[in-house]
Copies of this chain bind each other. A is one copy, B any other.
Amino acid sequence: MESANVLKGACIIGQSGGPTAVINASAYGAIRAGLDAECITKVYGAANGIKGVLDDKLYIMDEEDPAELKLLLNTPSSELGSCRYKMKDPDVDDTDYKRILEIFKKYDVRYFFYNGGNDSMDTCNKISKYCQKVGYDCRVMGIPKTIDNDLFGTDHCPGFASAAKYIATSCMEISKDATVYDTAQITVVEIMGRHAGWLAGAAALATAFGAGPDLVYLPEVDFDMDKFFADVDKIYATKNKVLIAVSEGIHYADGRFVSEAETSATDGFGHAQLGGLAVKLAEALKAHTGAKVRGIELSLLQRCASHLASATDRAEAELAGRTAVEAAVSGKTDYMVAFDCDRTNGKYTCATKLLPLSDVANYEKKVPMEWINAERNGVTQEFIDYALPLIQGEPEYPTESSLPRYAKLKKVIAK
């Protein structure tokens, strides 16, 4: 997966999957490195990820004002646009691959950088293999991104830490607000993470600093409503306020998501309800305890709150983008940039490494069971020690009249 020769040509950078607070920092790292690389003749941004390639909709990044480009560092979501597009197996249907090759040839694209999660690494891998099969010389690199933090082989994923910081800070604020009256109050906060509990676990950072959830439920553990009620009763008996963080992905032992499960009299749900898991569990606890309840869904904000990003996360996201381009320019292909971190003696360092794309695609990394407490309603100190270094630092964010000033790109479309 290395070629010594200098490869001259254009590059495409694409963003894929759900937004994060720092995915644009990775884009900036890659775009800037692409513009600075001598062998890269042109830097294109794909509109809405791979769909922009298929639709021949590429933005010319060389046309952008450098100062505006730099504002990508503090612009949330995916500024080039994103997509959720699953590539077919090229052996079954190679229509898309032929089209991609056509576009690559049209713009002399010799570098392809794709920023996303599991599915995006799979897309990267398939495109690269196809190019190799047809003998088209193109270096393909994956740049990791996901708030879910479930990518294999890397210490963590860019995007996770900023979401974790938002969740922990918000839980601290909610814990102050939800305990202000002397009356009984139970509050349930719903956190993203369908299959892995990294984000829900991050709520415990708030507790570690004195004001956070009493109970945290991760999707790594089968959910049991009776056990849940017993957990809550225990806290409720000692203080009449309970704050609970739950992953949206909690499920019963038979696999049914609690958010989608049929309601029954035994679990306290009187009737079918929409409005999310937090409200559902809050209503069940109201029926069970009689307390005043509130369900709060952190919703989109946990993944796009760039005003509360982690400076560490932002710097690492940019580094990942830059590293992908520099590695490709130096001859590497078919890798995803990953992080190797050291936390020995409380000192955190983060170095990049390269993982073969074929090793990372479509494998989900979950929270290790030994980082979940014995009662299965919280995380251990190991989890805190893992996550805390990642959320460090408040990055500068430019404002205009005290509101965020985001990048305003021209997005000139290539003909």
- Interface residues of A, Cβ cutoff 8 Å to B: 19, 47-48, 51, 75-79, 81-84, 165, 168-170, 172-174, 176-182, 205-206, 209-211, 273-276, 279, 283, 294, 296-297, 299-301, 303-308, 310, 388, 391-394, 399-406, 408
CA distance A358 to B396 in the complex (A): 47
Contact residue among B176, B297, B388 (Cβ-Cβ distance under 8 Å from A401): B388
Instruction: Tell me how far the C-beta of A169 lies from the nearest C-beta in chain B, rounded to whole angstroms.
Output: 6
Q: A310 CA to B308 CA in the complex, in Å?
A: 15
Taking a contact as CB atoms under 8 Å apart, the answer to whether B48 and A182 are in contact is yes
In whole angstroms, what is the CA distance A270 to B276 when docked? Answer: 17
Bound-state CA distance A276–B51 (Å) is: 35
A/B interface sample: 16 pairs, CB < 8 A: A19-B176, A47-B182, A75-B176, A165-B403, A169-B404, A173-B300, A173-B306, A178-B300, A211-B406, A296-B299, A308-B308, A310-B402, A391-B403, A392-B402, A394-B399, A394-B402
State in angstroms the CA–CA spacing of A206 and B401 once bound together: 11
Q: Which residues of chain B are within 8 angstroms of A51 by Cβ–Cβ distance?
A: 182
Nearest Cβ in chain B — how far from A240, in angstroms? 13
Q: Is the CB of B403 within 8 A of A172?
A: yes
Separation of A307 and B23 alpha carbons in the complex (Å): 23
Given A48-B182, A182-B48: A210 touches B408 (CB 8 Å cut-off): yes
In whole angstroms, what is the CA distance A377 to B404 when docked?
24
- Measured CB to CB, the closest approach of chain B to A336, in angstroms, equals 22
A169 contacts B403, C-beta separation under 8 Å? yes
- Shortest CB-to-CB span from A29 to chain B, Å, is 19
Does the CB pair B209–A400 fall under 8 Å?
A: yes
Bound-state CA distance A106–B48 (Å) is 70
Contact among B181, B209, B406 with A176 in the assembled complex (CB-CB below 8 Å):
B406
Distance, CA A47 to CA B180, complexed state (A): 10
Q: B177 and A402: CB pair below 8 A?
A: no
Are A177 and B406 in touch, CB under 8 angstroms? no
Residue of B nearest to A297 (CB): B297
- Which residues of the partner chain B approach A47 to less than 8 Å between Cβ atoms? 182
Q: Shortest CB–CB separation between residue A107 and chain B, in angstroms?
A: 20
14 new A-B contacts at CB < 8 Å, known A51-B182, A165-B402: A75-B176, A76-B176, A81-B180, A172-B404, A173-B300, A173-B304, A173-B404, A211-B406, A274-B275, A274-B283, A297-B299, A310-B402, A391-B401, A394-B399
CB of B307 within 8 A of CB of A173, answer: yes
Contact B274 A77 (CB under 8 A): no
Chain B residues near A275: list those with CB within 8 A: 273-276, 279
- Residue in chain B with minimal CB distance to A295: B275
Q: What's the minimum C-beta distance from A72 to chain B, rounded to whole angstroms?
A: 12
Nearest-Cβ distance from residue A197 to partner chain B, whole angstroms: 20
Give the residue name and chain of the B residue nearest to A393 (CB).
Answer: B402
B300 near A294: Cβ-Cβ < 8 Å: yes
Query: Once the chains are docked, how many angstroms separate the CA of A209 from the CA of B168?
Result: 28
Q: Within the assembled complex, what's the spacing in Å between the Cα atoms of A335 and B392? A: 45
Give A276 Cβ to nearest chain B Cβ, in Å: 6
Q: Which 3 A-B pairs have the closest CB atoms?
A: A275-B275, A77-B176, A177-B304
Taking the closest CB of chain B, its distance from the CB of A231, in whole angstroms, is 22
Give complex CA distance A307, B177 in Å: 14
Chain B residue nearest in CB terms to A303:
B177
Q: Which residues of B contact A174 (CB under 8 A)?
A: 300-301, 304
Set of chain B residues within 8 Å of A210, measured between Cβ atoms: 406, 408
